Amino acid sequence: MESRLPPLPDATTPVLVGFSGGLDSTVLLHLLAHGPAVRARGLRAMHVHHGLQPAADAWAAHCEHVCGQWQVPLQVVCVQVDTNTGDGPEAAARRARHAAFAAVLQPGERLALAHHRDDQAETFLLRALRGSGVEGLAAMRELRDFGAGQLWRPLLHVPRAALEAHARRHHLHWIEDPSNEQDAFDRNFLRNTLMPLLATRWPDAAAQFARSAALVGEAATLLQAQDAQWLPGCSDAAGALSVAALAALPAPACARVLRLWARQRGLPPLPGHGVDRIRHDLLVAGHDRQAEFRWQQARIVRWRDRLHAVADAPPWPPGWQADWDGRAPLALPDGGVLALRGTPGFDAPLQVRQRRGGERIRLPGRAHSHLLKHRLQASDIPPWLRPHLPLLCDGAQVLAAGDGIVAGPLRDWLQARGAQLHWQPPGNAN
């Protein structure tokens, strides 16, 4: 079985092994720890302590003992698993685990995980049962970008039986997680019940499912290249999508561009019905409607014939106000930042607060003031950002709304000093 372990593509790449103490990761760590070339590049291990099982502390101690025997540095990281997301305990634990791995992975380092061919077959089947598209059916990739480095699955083409044979041949000791026997979890039901049943009729079922996943992965790679060509033609410099350009695409291409764009804008994956809702509700919405699609903590909004990605930001506390002299950037309560550049600060502290309604502002070159509400409606500030707009005031006088609407007196003061007011809105909204 040792010959099935492929060499690292880059001979200078250090490796971080995700070590749970189970059979699979024990075999992977054993193979890497006993390879002098791998040790020379830098080898360490990490155990994620979820705290979900009564024996979790004993598992961490077992991993420390094994790593001590093999002289592999081990880092034990405790995580809090949020089980209130609605995705189930398995998905929640996986998210927490991957976040912990990403936090400690060094630039250029590879995170080695012990997924094998049977895992790949199960993932393919699970995603098929959930109605996944080609990206989902492609299942797991052997090598992909992850955190500051890459995620590497060197055993992805190796059957679990071969791992177990290796472990027994070398008298390895591993942890048996009792939750693996609970068929209430979908993956366990596939592993313990369905896959053995399929093997009685099709002995190589797992290998064929894994092969299908690989073939779908090749197709997905080609489609992703096409998506990368379509997306620039649909997006503007600010990253918003043109409704007209999207509507001109064939329906399957429109769906793929929407999913790619949402991913690049840092939004959660679109749900299964998300693309249809966007196409039917947003792309055909009237010009005067601010139609939107919401899911999790994100939304996509149609505004001025563009689709905009919006991540929800926390509201300002009622009545929040701060004195600010401009000498250092001011952190706003919603995660935004207000900064003054090019000058040490204001001549006297000013006040920063949220809109209350009815404010007026005197623009440069105007003898009279205007309602701020009207100036915002004519501005390029999106409606979803207006509740987060910081007002810079001198007493009752509004000097600026964000950095896009600046009163005449403040503009003159800034120009005389070569200074600039800069507002960074919260989140990643475009």
Residue 165 lies in a domain: yes
Q: Are residues 265 and 184 in the same domain?
A: no
Give the Cα separation of 205 and 196 in Å (integer): 9
Among candidate residues 177, 212, 247, the one where a domain is terminated: 212
In this structure, what is the dihedral angle of CA atoms 259, 263, 265, 266, given to the nearest 10 degrees?
140
Q: Are residues 289 and 338 in the same domain?
A: no
Among candidate residues 311, 345, 371, the one where a domain is terminated: 311
- The predicted pLDDT at position 137 comes to 85
Distances (CA, A) of 87 to 183, 214, 277, 284: 17, 26, 21, 32
Residue 224 lies in a domain: no
Q: Are residues 274 and 352 in the same domain?
A: no
Residue 370 lies in a domain: yes
Which stretches in the chain have pLDDT values below 70? 1-12, 83-88, 286-289, 427-430
Residue 330 lies in a domain: yes
Residue 409 lies in a domain: yes
Q: Are residues 61 and 167 in the same domain?
A: yes
20 is an annotated ligand-binding site residue: yes
Give the Cα separation of 52 and 58 in Å (integer): 12
Rg of the chain on CA atoms, in Å: 28
Q: Are residues 28 and 116 in the same domain?
A: yes
Q: Provide the β-strand partners of residue 37.
A: none
Q: Are residues 171 and 269 in the same domain?
A: no
427 is an annotated ligand-binding site residue: no
What is the residue range of 399's domain?
Answer: 321-424
Q: Are residues 104 and 239 in the same domain?
A: no
Q: Model's pTM, two decimal places?
A: 0.66
Give the Cα separation of 255 and 250 in Å (integer): 9
CATH number at 287 reads 1.20.59.20
- The predicted pLDDT at position 231 comes to 92
Residue 230 lies in a domain: no
CATH number at 152 reads 3.40.50.620
Long-range contacts of 82-90 (CB under 8 A, 24+ apart): 88/185, 89/52, 89/185, 90/185, 90/186, 90/187
Q: Are residues 250 and 105 in the same domain?
A: no
- Per 3-state DSSP, the chain is made up of helix, strand and coil in percentages (nearest 5) of 40, 20, 40
- The predicted pLDDT at position 2 comes to 44
- The predicted pLDDT at position 90 comes to 74
24 is an annotated ligand-binding site residue: yes
CB 310 within 8 A of CB 301: yes
Give Dmax (Cα) for the chain. 89
266 is an annotated ligand-binding site residue: no
Give the Cα separation of 290 and 297 in Å (integer): 18
Residue 226 lies in a domain: no
- The predicted pLDDT at position 84 comes to 63
Q: What sign does the CA torsion over 232, 233, 237, 242 have?
A: negative
Q: Are residues 333 and 307 in the same domain?
A: no
- The predicted pLDDT at position 339 comes to 96
Residue 219 lies in a domain: no
Q: Are residues 31 and 147 in the same domain?
A: yes
- The predicted pLDDT at position 179 comes to 75
- The predicted pLDDT at position 228 comes to 87
How distant is the alpha carbon of residue 171 from its chain centre? 40
Among candidate residues 162, 181, 212, the one where a domain is terminated: 212
23 is an annotated ligand-binding site residue: yes
- 158 is written with which tokens? 């190796």
Q: Are residues 81 and 33 in the same domain?
A: yes
Q: Are residues 301 and 331 in the same domain?
A: no
If one counts the domains in the chain, the total is: 3
How would you list the strands of the sheet with 15-18, edge to edge?
A: 74-78, 43-49, 15-18, 110-112, 149-152, 143-146
Q: Which amino acid is at 409?
A: P
179 is an annotated ligand-binding site residue: no
